[in-house]
Amino acid sequence: MSRLQQMRQHMRDENLNAYVVMRPENGRYVSGFSGGETTLYITLENAVLLTDFRYIEQAKAQAPAFEIIDAGHDHFAKLGEIGRGVHRVGFEGDYITYVDFGNLKNALLEAELFSLPNLVSNLRSVKDDSEIGLIRQAVKIADNAFKEVLMTIEIGQTEEEIGLNLEYSMRRAGASGGSFDFIVASGLRSAMPHGTASPKRIQAGEFLTMDFGAIYQGYCSDITRTVFIGDPEDKHRDVYATVLRAQMAGIQAVAPGRSGKEVDAVARSIIEEAGYGDYFGHGLGHSVGLAIHEGPNLSKREERLLQPGMVVTVEPGIYIPDWGGVRIEDIVLVTESGCEVLTQAPKELIILE
C-alpha cells in the first residue's frame, strides 16, 4: 500500500473528506517532493500539490501521483477554489500558525476543520526498508566523520573549528548538510546540554562533547560522543562510566511493545542510583527520520509503544554546573526481536593527550 493510500485509509477512519498538509517533512513523505513553498490538498479521490513557478518542473518529476498547480504565493486562495463542497477537512494543528489557520478557515468556508496533527506523523514513525537504508547511510557518514575529526583535535582549537571540520567531513562523504546546529561544548560548557559550538578554545583537563549528524537524501542521523582532553580525575571517569552504563542499559531495553516511558526509566534509574539523578534533566531519546526530532520519544511521559521499524536515539547525560558534563548517543533501530545499534563509532572513554 502506497503512502497516499495509507493516508486515505486514516482519513476514512477519521471520517474526513480532505486533509491539508503544510509541514515540509509530511509533504515530502507523502508526495516525494523535496522543494519549498508546498501545500498538499488530499481528498479520497484526488491529490493536489500547490507550489509556485520555481518548483513546477521539480514537482512534476518527484510527485507523479499528484496534480501540480502553480498557486503563486497565495495557496489559500487556490485552496478556496479547489476545496468547494468539502465538509470535513483535517489539518496539522501543531504546525500551522494562528494567522494561517484564519486563512484556511476563510478559504474553506463550507468546511468543518479538525486538528489531526498525527495523521501523517504516525505513518512516518515506522520506517520502511528504503528509509532505513538512507538512515543507515546518514549514520555511517557521521560515524566516519567522528573517527576522522578525532585524529585532528588538539589543544588550542576552537569548538567552532571542530564543528566546521565535522561538517566538512560529512559533506565530502555525500551529506547535503548537518541535521541541526552542531553542539560542540568543552570544559564548563559541556554542562550545557545544547551548548552549540563557540569560539572557546580546547584546553587540557576538560571534557569535550560533540553532538552532530548528517542529512543524506533527506534523512537525518544524530550522534553524540564525549572525549577527555588530558589526564582525567576519578570523578571524570566515574561520571563517564555512569553515563555509559545507563546508555547501554537503555539500548538493551529497546524492544517492540515497550513504551518510551519504560525505556527511559531503565537508563534513568542507573544515573539516579549513582547519585547523579538531579543532573539528568532531559528525556532519554527521540525518533529520527526526515526530521531530527520525531515521535515517539523515550521520556518520562511517553506512553506510546515502540514498533519494529522505528528509529530512536538513546542519549543519557549528566550535566554538573560549574564542572562539566557527559552525553553518549547512538541511533537504534527497533527490530522484531529487540533492536539493532546503527551507530558504530567507539564510545569507551577516549583520552586525547
Mean pLDDT over 161-188 rounds to 98
Partners of 94 in the beta sheet?
Answer: none
**Residue 43 confidence (pLDDT) above 90:** yes
Question: Model confidence at 331, in pLDDT bands (50, 70, 90)?
Answer: very high
Short-list 48, 37, 56, 52, CA closest to 81: 48
How is residue 56 written as a grid cell?
513546477
Cβ pair 237, 228 in contact under 8 A? no
Cβ pair 270, 242 in contact under 8 A? yes
> What is the phi/psi pair of residue 150, to 5°?
-55, -35
The pLDDT of residue 353 is 85
Kindly tell me the burial class for residue 29, based on how many C-beta atoms sit within 10 Å of its own C-beta (0-12, 13-18, 19 or more): buried
In whole angstroms, give the CA distance from residue 24 to residue 27: 5
- DSSP per-residue string spanning 118-139: HHHHHHHTS--HHHHHHHHHHH
Mean pLDDT over 231-247 rounds to 99
The pLDDT of residue 195 is 96
Q: Where on the phi/psi map is residue 32: left (φ > 0), alpha (ψ -120 to 50), or beta?
A: left
Indicate the helix (H) or strand (E) that contains 172. helix 159-172
Residue 308, preceding bond cis, omega within 30 degrees? no
The pLDDT of residue 176 is 98
The pLDDT of residue 117 is 92
How is residue 36 written as a grid cell?
519549498
Q: Which residues contact 165 (CB under 8 A, 6 or more apart)?
A: 149, 152
Q: Is the dihedral of CA 208, 247, 308, 120 positive or negative?
A: negative
Q: Domains in the chain, ordered, with CATH?
A: 3-124 (3.40.350.10), 129-352 (3.90.230.10)
In whole angstroms, give the CA distance from residue 182 to residue 224: 10
In whole angstroms, give the CA distance from residue 128 to residue 119: 17
Question: Model confidence at 107, in pLDDT bands (50, 70, 90)?
Answer: very high
Cβ pair 262, 302 in contact under 8 A? no
How many helices, marked H, and strands, marked E, lie in the chain? Answer: 10, 20
Per-residue pLDDT tens over the stretch 272-329: 999 999 999 999 999 999 999 999 999 999 999 999 999 999 999 999 999 999 999 9
Cβ pair 64, 88 in contact under 8 A? no
In whole angstroms, give the CA distance from residue 135 to residue 342: 9
Amino acid identity, residue 37? E
> What is the phi/psi pair of residue 52, to 5°?
-125, 180
Count the residues in the chain. 353
What's the N-to-C CA distance of the chain in angstroms?
Answer: 55
Mean pLDDT over 255-275 rounds to 99
